[in-house]
Structure 1
Amino acid sequence: MMDFVDNSNLSTLSEEVPYHCFPSLTSCDESSQLNRLNNEKKDCNSRTKSRGKGNSNKKKPNRFCTYCKSQITGGKLKRHILRKHKSDPEVKSIISKPAHIQNKFFDGKRREGIYEYNLQLIGDGLDPEMRERKPVLEDQLRVCSDCKGFYSNKYFFKHKCVIHEDSAPQALKPRLLQNVMNDNMDNDKGFLDILNRFREGEVGDFCRTNKTIKLIGYKHFNLRRHEEGKQDEVRKTIMAEMRELSKLFFCFRSLSGSEERMVEDMFRREHLLDLVEALKQLTTTSDKQEKHGQKLFLDAVLLRSVKTLEGYFAQTMQDTKKKELKNFRSAYKSLQHELFPSARQKCIKNSLETNRKPASLPNEQKVLQLKEFIATEISFILKNYTVKNFAYLRSLVVARLTLFNARRGEEASRMLFSEWEEAEKGTWLPDEELEKIKDHAEQYLLGHFKLAYLKGKGKKYVPVLIPNDLMSAIQVLKQDRSKFGIREDNPFLFATKNGLSHCSGWHAVAEVCAEAGINIITATKMRHRLSSIYASLDMSPENRKIFLQHMGHEEQINRENYQCPLGIRTACIMGKMLSSVDEGSVSELHPKGPSTAPEEDLMYKPCKSGSPNELDVSPQECSFEIEDDDGAKVLSSPVTAKKTKSSSVKWSKDETEAIKCFFRSYIFDRKENNTGNLPSKREVQEFLEKHDMHSLEGLSEKTKLLKIRSKIFNERKTMRLMTLKKLDEMKSLKI
């Protein structure tokens, strides 16, 4: 008798026992039994597949391609790179390698893509979403400081970097990267104002949208955003750099023949030759002439961009890119001696042969004519002033200040309202210091000017002297600011309408010159003119230092870039010397012999023989009073005083400064005709006790007293001569 099979085991036995072994059933029971067996078999197969690796319903996470900056769906990153980027040099070199090396390379590209994509999300204020594996349950991500991978916080310490004995990676929170991302770039009002000023077009749109170009510009903006009074200059500089870098990238992309090129690709060594060719093509005119100024500018922009990106990659822990940038910079600098020497030489040649020629200096008659024109126009406008004349009056004042002080084009025009108020109150010329000045010529000069200090080139502050004839015009500009439409929060004295900017110094000078009917006399030409006059004057070292501080540059810059060569003096002095050498009469070049008069006699004789001129001191003017030990004043003259034959004294700089400081009242507090008191014996002895005078060692007390008094008298006379020279220099300039 055959046993019946239990229903629970039918699904298993159906694969082993033939169907005909079962007892016969009715047709209805047979069909229902078969359907039930088939359904149970399908359920069993589906459960088996769900536990295996071949589940077709499982969706692989997306990946990010670092070459074309796009998402790859389905996790097919390797296939995408081999198909779409097989011409890339890096991919070409890896295809021929063994399989284990290829796998390591593509694993690195996958991890690099995940990191870069998540950085973009963090920069936009979003949470990172791309990771190695999708989690079953919600968790928190951590970033490995070594491999830059994104892992679950629960299983972070199980990945390979931690298992390795030599490494000690840190589990970083993704939000920590927010501090170095460009999340503030799209919310910064100052930088957004710069982006909005780009014109519509291919270059302007690219500057506004490309993240790398914006990042480079934003880093430079942060570096200079706090330069008070230079907002316009900073904005123009950053916009120029972003535009030129964008133009260079367009040229680079067209030469490479691939529209998939990114801005970062310009800073890779394998594309260096394409970058060099793009640089040459962009800086060459249609008639094969080199734009040397633009070429040097692009060189500076490229180096600054590399420095910016290198710092950014270091902050965001993209060490591979940072290392590549460092190598790129070394390779680029090795080519600089081939790319830029001609451009630098042309700039130097233009400076030496064109700008410094005497013919390039402004005509003196035209300068005087322009000065008279400005004074006449200001006087006429003040008598018939209306608000319509505000802009023209502003241009006249700015032109006068720029040309009078020989300032750079935009320096005088960006004077702040606070700087003008300081000048008006006499902050830089306090009354206490003015009262100490006894020289009438210096008092006269100080009474005709106000002094302001403005920000010059770089970090320097430069002085601006404001003549009194401009005070009335400046007061009108100050009072009618609101009537002209200038905002109350505009910080500039020479402000413009409906904004926070100032007028252009160059355009102000150009407008005034056009009204006067004179070819434009630029600020640069006036600086050349003043530097050439300075070179022809015999000025003391102290005065030369003050002149260079006023100009805002160093002695070498003044000599090599501004002043005209002293051609007449060179021809006279060297012509005489070379002619004597050529004729064999070298003996004529030697002096006739040293003077037999002792130096002390020369110090005692400040006057020339014969009729004194305006720079000489007559014997009557050389008298002075000496207080003896009892306080009695004795009238004496150094010319008739008894002279002792002794060796001359060579005063050191420190000793001279000590004498000037201690006996300041005797040197600077003179009476008329150069008469005045000299210190008593007691005062001189007190000075010698407090100061070590090595130049007076070995001399008697009487000789020391005489030497000190002679030194004080000569210093007083020198101050008088310097004052007279100042007056002559002011007359010769005729500004």
Structure 2
Amino acid sequence: MQSPRSHNGEESSEKILNANRAAALREEGRESSMAEADQCVQSAKISCSLNSKNYCYICGKPQSKLARHLKTHMDEVEVGQALSLPVHSKERKAMLQKLRNKGNYQHNTDVLQCGEGALKIKRAPKRQCDSKQFVHCMYCKGMFVRTDLWRHLRKCPSKPVSDSENQGRTRVLGLATMAESSFSQQIMQGVWKLLSVMKQDDISAVVKNDLSILQLAQSFFNKHGHDPTKFEYIRQKLREIGRLLLTLRREFSIYSLEEAVKPANFHRLIRAVQRVSGYDDESHYYQCPSLALKLGHSLNKICEIIHCRALMSEDKELITSTETFKKLYSSKWSEMISHTALVTLNEAKFNKPSTLPFTQDVQCLHRFLEKTAHDAFQKLKETESPQSYAELAKAALTKIIVFNRRRAGEVSKMPLKAFKERDSTSLHDDVALGLSRFEQKLCRHFSRVEIRGKRGRKVAILLTPDVVDALLLLVSKRSECGVLDTNEFLFARPNCQSHYRGQDSLRAYASECGAQNPEFLRSTHLRKHVATLSQILNLKNNELDQVADFLGHDIRVHRDYYRLPEATTQLAKISKLLLAMEKGCLPNLQGKSLDDIEIEDEISMTDSDASDPDESDSEDDAPAGAAGVSSNADVQKMPIEKVTEVSQENKSEAENPRKGQKVYWSNAEVTAVMKHFKAHITKGKLATLTECKQCKTAEEPVLGKRSAQNIRDFVRNRGISVKRKAQNK
């Protein structure tokens, strides 16, 4: 036998489904559907009343003298408070008007529910209107024509002081509609306020009339309600699922998401997702593959919400239905939706050209920002206006993004509190001992601000003194330039609660600075630029960790997405290995890494510009077997007048190849090299050409007769010898 709570849950679910069907049929504008929808809501024609009688909120009877009638209800607290005030006082009139609106609101609600009677409205419309064109004020509960509500709201006496900001017509209608929604008591007021900003169209109407979508909005608000910058993300997710439900209603006769997640409707739900995402059956291609993936995550979340609702109402049938849908989702969704969508996404990235910005363009942007920020700084000091404030705010915002290579959204949302609490302490004496003089000056030169980055990570922003001066000026001129006191952002916009968007400012300045490729000057491209070029510095692992931590991502992400472009890596590094294998020179490269392989030393290159003059010297300390190859490479690099001499030397070496003249290393030369590369030899690590050139320059008198390649070969051979001795022991 089914429990009473389960029976009540089924009745409430059935009522919600009927209401959703009725709302959906009205939105579509079909004549036959409209007739069916009207039967669900009203059974008779509703008229509008303009008489002077008001309805008592206690007994519900119309009264021409409501103040006199209320004396019969003196036991009510509100009535006693109103009638105890002085006669003809403003407070008494306001209280009585509130009681009139309260009674009229109860009467109008009853009329709309039963579909019969006369509505008590506050202002006569200029033309004949249907009952659906009237709406109650969300503050005083008076009934007005929908198109005139925004005028009344400007002077509504019951409007709280916190909502003194003038709101547009669309937002006013959204707030009024949601205040009258049947789901308003189950959803927090903050969610309704978040949804009121949405564009008033078919999609927003679907969102506000489906309980499952509203509960999804409530779930998002519970997680991100403390961060107003996430509200746009929440609205975007709700509109995505609203588009899906609108398609389900129009093409598959499914009027709610609770009905959509039933196992019997799984295939129709699949087709609806494909339809919304632009799926082509012939080419197996999605126009919006990311939308299909996002809808899958939202539907799984909605199924969990409905499952929790079923558990609380002890609806066994709905519990079984949601559990079955979860099994279908885990086993079939990847096959039907996700796999094809991911394939479409990956194919779109094939042969994608490199988008790294050029150094000349970055320098051009820096110079342009310096000039723009300086002019805006002087202009704001002279004239305090929202225009001059906006110019300096955008310039400073863009300078911080470009200098720090920070995500544009992170800097744009920097709180004013974080800037005021920036680290201004002097460098600790004990810490300064481990820094050079130049590094100590840098610590005193820059200011450091910590903000919240992606995934809640703490990231740092470095501010130069001129940027700090500009920000201090912006903070001091906030009230004079119209910035609201309640706006918590550092780069706040005047007369609103939002902030300037760094990506928009960066895009505008990149187009104006005169760069050759302004489309590459974006925050993401600049971040890849600094992370990619940091590889050229041959940084150690701990130094790479520091770069990744400053950029605000994990070292694994740094290695996977911020290295040299894949095409460059394959052309420059893997090709060396393939050429060495093709020419049979791989044994001569034993113990070397891809970065240490110098392929032109082993293989004759056809490009004359590919050779390095420093590497053209004879390899005095080269291993056996490499002399022939090296001599061939040297012959290609020598002047024409020395060809005869070289041919005679090669002829003598051919008769007795092991009697080549060899210049032995002196003790002074060995000591000079060991001073720089002792650690390399002990660990068996190869020296780079750059390190060898630095060693040659530092020990110039002693190593004057040795090339950088000679030094490199000495370190390699000495390391091999040490390794062999260790193995023999």
* TM-score of the pair, normalised by structure 1: 0.54
Counterpart of 2:210?
210
1:277: which partner in 2?
Answer: 271
State the match for 1:394 in structure 2: 393
Alignment check: 8 A CA contact 2:9 2:313 kept: no
Corresponding residue to 1:362 among 334, 357, 363: 357
Please list, as runs of the form range in 1=range in 2, the aligned pairs for 1:317-336 lying within 5 A after superposition. 317-335=314-332, 336=334
- For residues 254-307 of structure 1, give each alpha carbon's deviation from its aligned partner in whole angstroms, at most 9, with x where no partner exists: 22236xx32211111100111000001111179975211222221222222222
Q: Does 1:439 align with 2:439?
A: no
In the alignment, the residues of structure 2 paired with residue 573 and residue 207 of structure 1 have an alpha-carbon distance, to the nearest angstrom, of 54
Distance 1:275 1:556 in 2: 37
Q: Alpha-carbon deviations, 1:305-358, whole Å to 9, x = none?
A: 22233233334433432332121021022222231222212323445642xx43
Tell me the secondary structure at the aligned position of residue 483 of structure 1: coil
Unaligned runs of at least 5 residues, structure 2: 1-7, 20-181, 592-621, 625-663, 679-688, 701-720, 724-729
Answering whether residue 418 of structure 2 is matched by residue 422 of structure 1, we say no
Q: Shift of residue 546 of structure 1?
A: 0.8
Find the partner of 1:377 among 341, 365, 372: 372
Contact kept in structure 2, 1:185 and 1:218, CA below 8 Å: no
Structure 1 unaligned regions, length at least 5: 1-60, 73-180, 621-646, 650-735
State the Cα deviation string for residues 158-201 of structure 1 (Å, max 9, x = none). xxxxxxxxxxxxxxxxxxxxxxx98765453x322211111111
Q: Is the 8 A contact 1:313 1:321 kept in 2?
A: yes
Contact in 2 for aligned 1:216/1:305 (Cα 8 Å): yes
Q: Aligned pair 1:565/2:565, yes or no?
A: yes
Aligned to 1:223, the other structure's residue is in SS state helix
Structure 1 residue 384: Cα displacement:
3.0
For 1:347, the equivalent position in structure 2 comes to 345
Return closer, same or farther for 1:384/1:257 CA change in 2, 3 Å cut-off: closer
Q: Secondary structure at the match of 2:451?
A: strand
Give distance in 2, aligned partners of 1:213 and 1:367: 45
Distance 1:317 1:581 in 2: 70
Return the alpha-carbon distance in structure 1 between the equivalents of residues 369 and 203 of structure 2. Answer: 42
* C-alpha distance in 2 between matches for 1:289 and 1:455: 35
Contact 2:206 2:242 (8 Å CA) reproduced:
yes
Compute the displacement of 1:376 (Å): 0.7
- CA change 1:437–1:587 in 2 (3 A) is closer
CA distance in 2, matches of 1:517, 1:532: 24
TM-superposed deviation, 1:460? 1.1
- Classify 1:617/1:415 alpha carbon distance in 2 versus 1 (closer, same or farther; 3 Å): farther
**Aligned: 1:256 with 2:252:** yes
Deviations 1:234-255 (A, max 9, x none): 1011111111111101111222
Matched, 1:448 2:518: no
- Alignment partner, residue 408 of structure 1: 407
- Matches of 1:363 and 1:212 in 2, distance apart? 50
Q: Matched residues in 2 for 1:561 and 1:451: separation?
A: 27
Query: In structure 2, the residue corresponding to 1:425 is in which secondary structure?
Result: coil
SS in structure 2 at match of 1:384: helix
Determine if contact 1:198/1:204 at 8 Å carries over to the other structure. yes
Q: Per-residue deviation at 1:556? A: 3.1
1:375 aligned partner, one-letter code: E
Q: Is the 8 A contact 1:580 1:588 kept in 2?
A: no
The 1:372–1:616 alpha-carbon spacing in structure 2 relative to 1, beyond 3 Å, is farther
Residue identity in the other structure for 1:249: L
2:551 is the alignment partner of 1:554: no
Picking from 444, 466, 469, the partner of 1:469 is 466
User: Does the Cα contact within 8 Å between 1:607 and 1:618 map onto a contact in 2?
Assistant: no
Partner in structure 1 of residue 675 of structure 2: 605
Counting only pairs closer than 5 Å after superposition, residues 65-84 of structure 1 correspond to structure 2 as 66-67=13-14, 69=16
Kept in 2: contact 1:607–1:619 (CA 8 A): no
2:460–2:550 contact (8 Å) kept in structure 1? yes
Q: Residue 430 of structure 1: CA displacement?
A: 5.0
- Which aligned pairs between 1:167-178 and structure 2 lie closer than 5 A? none
Aligned AA (2:239) = R
Residue in 1 that maps onto 2:118: none
Q: For the Cα contact (< 8 Å) 1:255–1:274, is it kept in 2?
A: no
C-alpha distance in 1, partners of 2:574/2:257?
58
Shift of 1:565: 2.6
How many pairs does the alignment contain? Answer: 440
Stretch of structure 1 that moved more, 271-280 or 325-334: 325-334
Partner of 2:204, secondary structure, is: helix
Counterpart AA for 2:252: S
Contact 1:490 1:499 (C-alpha < 8 Å) held by counterparts: yes
Aligned residue number for residue 98 of structure 1: none
Instruction: Give the match for residue 220 of structure 2.
Output: 220
Q: Which moved more, 1:310-319 or 1:550-559?
A: 310-319
Which residue of structure 1 lines up, in the alignment, with residue 144 of structure 2? Answer: none
1:606–1:616 contact (8 Å) kept in structure 2 = no
Aligned counterparts of 1:582 and 1:62: Cα–Cα separation in 2: 75
User: RMSD across aligned C-alpha pairs, in angstroms?
Assistant: 3.8
For 1:238, the equivalent position in structure 2 comes to 234
Q: How does 1:57-72 map to 2 (within 5 A)?
A: 64=11, 66-67=13-14, 69=16
